[in-house]
Amino acid sequence: MGIQNGIANGNVLEDLLEKAGGCAVVDGGFATQLERHGALINDPLWSALCLIKDPHLITKVHLEYLEAGADVIVTSSYQATIPGFLSRGLSMEEAESLLTKSVQIAAEARDKFWASVKWKPENNHNRALIAASIGSYGAYLADGSEYSGNYGPTVTLEKLKDFHRHRLQVLVQAGPDLLAFETIPNKLEAQACVELLEEEKVDIPSWICFSSVDGANAPSGESFEDCLRVINKSTRVCAVGINCAPPHFVLSLIQKFKELTGKAIVVYPNSGEIWDGIAKRWLPSKCFDDEKFELFAAKWRDAGAKLIGGCCRTTPSTVRRVSRVLKEKK
């Protein structure tokens, strides 16, 4: 176990980046791929419903992304929360066990996949890392507010920390390689995540990703300069970036982040479709197809991103193209 920046295990990501030649591949849309296999997730728990109803589909999707070349797979816990599970009549013990299960399923898939490829001479995979997904408070609200950042005046820093604390503790205990805070829409929640990591002395390295709807700021309208200031001070956060924002915003956001932080930059945009949080469906908009993802993944890498993948509405075929271009010998 290494100690880096004061964090035990802080070098797992750096080890992976080195093995991957400087830029690693993150998986793609997880809920999207569950739905393509027939999972019905139009539900307040969204993809986390599969932890209860279809855990075998979770394994299947993880294996598909590993086969596609993902170096990091993100767990099924995005919308898995203790209050969400309790409101479905589950006990605290059951809720905790489902969160633990999200990490176990991913680790089992990784181990199974790695055992099947590591000895093959043509193997060009790396042993993948497991990033435990921690969706924003807005994801839990299930009203689209991960894209507005508008939590209202009653949602304070303490309330956000209380919301995140117990799930974080359970996920840390489950032993993932990384923690992935996803679709954070405002500065207050970024601050809550950073303070919580410190208070809980979490020694698993984290990334914190924001969504963006205007291509320049966090969804709340707060500048990334403001949002990153608090994150930059944390030694427990190893990477920052963007997830589930339209891909045509990403290049300029990488350039902006390069000026605002010394941390590794992670980007995994959605396809460009727009989420209607009330109707709970994706609306067509300017999109990137897989070919365009391949083209732009190289541009994102050249602009300085260290972790690149896809989010909603991207699939294993998207990740296969991203992996192909990033693992190409230059």
Ligand X SMILES: C[S+](C)CC[C@H](N)C(=O)O
Ligand Y SMILES: N[C@@H](CCS)C(=O)O
Residues of this chain, 181-210, that bind ligand Y according to CB under 6 A: 182-183
Considering the complex, what minimum distance in angstroms separates the CB of residue 311 from Zn ion?
3
Residues of this chain, 234-273, that bind ligand X according to CB under 6 A: 244
Considering the complex, what minimum distance in angstroms separates the CB of residue 64 from ligand Y?
13
Residue among 7, 13, 17, 30 that touches ligand Y (CB under 6 A): 30
Residue among 133, 206, 220, 315 that touches ligand Y (CB under 6 A): 133
280 makes contact with ligand X (CB under 6 A): yes
Nearer to ligand X, 65 or 147 (CB): 147
| 300, amino acid identity | W
Residue among 10, 29, 272, 316 that touches ligand Y (CB under 6 A): 29
Whole-Å CA distances, 10 to 127, 203, 273, 311, 319:
17, 7, 35, 25, 26
DSSP-H helix ranges across 132-186:
137-141, 157-174
Q: Among Zn ion, ligand Y, ligand X, none, what binds residue 277 when CB lies within 5 to 8 Å by partner kind?
A: ligand X
142 makes contact with ligand X (CB under 6 A): yes
Q: Which stretch binds ligand X (CB under 6 A): 17-25, 139-147, 213-221, 256-264?
A: 139-147
Whole-Å CA distances, 55 to 100, 188, 196, 215:
13, 33, 29, 35
Nearer to ligand Y, 7 or 26 (CB): 26
What gap in Å lies between CA 237 and CA 277, rounded to an integer? 29
Cα–Cα nearest to 185, from 238, 154, 143, 248:
143
318 makes contact with ligand Y (CB under 6 A): no
What gap in Å lies between CA 171 and CA 79, rounded to an integer? 13
137 makes contact with ligand X (CB under 6 A): no
DSSP code of residue 223: B
Query: Is 23 known as a binding-site position?
Result: no
Residue among 30, 46, 137, 224 that touches ligand X (CB under 6 A): 46
Burial of 329 from C-beta contacts in 10 A (0-12 / 13-18 / 19+): exposed
